[in-house]
């Protein structure tokens, strides 16, 4: 009996770690965490609904309800912000507690979280500060990160960032060149529309992205000819980032569904089927990676490929695909 009590105490999760698990995201196996995520998203959606309904004068009699919701939201987000500061060292386990707190506060998520709880009364009427609460809807991207979906989208953009930046640079160069050309042929005819070399950027943007507002347009024959050339070039140039992103999605889903890696990525690949005898059972992915210097690439659970986030606990029957960080 005494041995069982000792083992229970040893396996008991610290309170701060349990708090971190609850306010963490994407853990569908944790009821408390799922409920917390549901409450958070509900409050965010209510804030969106409140911002919309407040714009109707016919609903002015509900101002007191909107005010109560505003106060409740500030209190809720304040508590959440404090909890995230308290558990920041679990979010950044490789840093000391002080550095982890500082990193969270200065991170994008931490900044948005702080701006949503500014309790200053003279700022409460500013819609922009309330819109920061709406920005928390991007948490949905993280809530679904464990089961590809939104996480795949973000990872594709990250992995293809250099190609996307290169294609965007090409578009900017085309816009600048178009602006210079249009200024040189249209300035004398309509100086109010093209007063300087950069004034044609608005025309170039609406033309390249096929918006075509028509508020600024060429009137000379040469200017119209340039416009036609820019239209043709735009169809090719704007399609470049679309093709890059589409190819990235195909590559990512192929890797996730088939569990295959190509080229140099096959080197040092490790596959482990978790059973009662394995040391990985019941441990979080982040702790496994830190302890064994392992980079877990894919987690297959119940026949479904799961994106391995750090807070997922390994279950019996899981298949881990990873690689040593040498």
Q: How many CB atoms lie within 10 A of CB 254?
A: 12
Look at residue 204 and tell me whether its pLDDT is greater than 60. yes
Domains of the chain (ranges plus CATH)? 11-143 (1.20.120.350), 161-258 (1.10.287.70), 263-324 (3.30.70.1450)
Those residues whose C-beta lies under 8 Å from the C-beta of residue 77, and which sit 6 or more positions away, are 43, 113, 116, 117, 133, 136
Q: What is the pLDDT of residue 225?
A: 92
End-to-end CA distance of the chain: 44
Q: Is 62 helix (H, G, I), strand (E, B) or coil?
A: helix
Could you give the CA distance from residue 89 to residue 82 in angstroms, rounded to a whole number? 13
H/E element, 273: strand 269-273
Query: Do 36 and 22 contact (CB within 8 A), yes or no?
Result: yes
Which tens digit of pLDDT belongs to each residue from 180-196? 999 999 988 998 888 88
Model confidence, pTM: 0.50
Look at residue 264 and tell me whether its pLDDT is greater than 50. no
Higher pLDDT, 107 or 130: 107
Look at residue 247 and tell me whether its pLDDT is greater than 60. yes
Least confident range from 44-53, 98-107, 302-311: namely 302-311
Q: What is the pLDDT of residue 221?
A: 92
Look at residue 266 and tell me whether its pLDDT is greater than 50. no
Please name the residue ranges forming H helices in the chain. 2-11, 15-23, 31-53, 63-86, 88-91, 97-106, 108-115, 121-124, 127-135, 139-143, 149-159, 161-186, 201-208, 221-258, 285-292
**C-alpha R_g of the chain:** 27
Look at residue 10 and tell me whether its pLDDT is greater than 50. no
Q: What is the pLDDT of residue 121?
A: 43
Q: What is the pLDDT of residue 262?
A: 43
Nearest to 315 by CA among 84, 107, 49, 29: 29
Look at residue 263 and tell me whether its pLDDT is greater than 50. no
Q: What is the pLDDT of residue 242?
A: 82
Higher pLDDT, 249 or 7: 249
């Amino acid at each position: 009996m005494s041995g069982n009590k000792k083992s229970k105490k040893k396996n008991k999760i610290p309170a701060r770690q349990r708090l971190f698990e609850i306010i963490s995201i994407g853990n569908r196996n944790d009821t408390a965490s799922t409920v917390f995520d549901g409450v958070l998203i509900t409050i965010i959606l209510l804030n969106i609904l409140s911002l919309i309904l407040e714009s109707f004068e016919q609903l002015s009699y509900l101002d007191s309800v909107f005010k109560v919701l505003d106060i409740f939201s500030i209190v809720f987000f304040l508590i959440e912000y404090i909890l995230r500061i308290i558990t920041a060292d679990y979010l950044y386990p490789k840093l000391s507690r002080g550095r982890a707190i500082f990193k969270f506060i200065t991170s994008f998520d931490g900044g948005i979280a702080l701006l949503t709880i500014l309790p200053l009364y003279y700022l409460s009427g500013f819609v922009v500060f309330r819109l920061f609460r709406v920005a928390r809807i991007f948490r949905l991207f993280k809530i679904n990160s464990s089961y590809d979906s939104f996480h795949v989208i973000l990872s594709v953009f990250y992995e293809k960032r250099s190609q996307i930046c290169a294609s965007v640079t090409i578009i900017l160069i085309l816009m600048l060149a178009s602006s210079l050309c249009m200024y040189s042929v249209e300035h004398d005819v309509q100086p109010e529309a093209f007063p300087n070399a950069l004034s044609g950027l608005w025309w170039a943007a609406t033309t390249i992205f096929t918006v075509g507002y028509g508020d600024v347009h060429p009137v000379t024959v040469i200017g119209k000819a340039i416009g036609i050339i820019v239209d043709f070039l735009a169809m090719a140039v704007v399609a470049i980032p679309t093709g890059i992103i589409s190819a990235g999605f195909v590559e990512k889903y192929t890797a996730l569904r088939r569990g295959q890696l190509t080229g140099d990525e096959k080197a040092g690949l490790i596959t482990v089927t978790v059973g009662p005898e394995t040391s990985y059972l019941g441990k979080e992915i982040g702790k496994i990676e830190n302890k064994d210097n392992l980079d877990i690439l894919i987690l297959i659970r119940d026949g479904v490929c799961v994106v391995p986030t750090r807070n997922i606990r390994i279950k019996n029957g899981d298949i881990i695909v990873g690689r040593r960080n040498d």
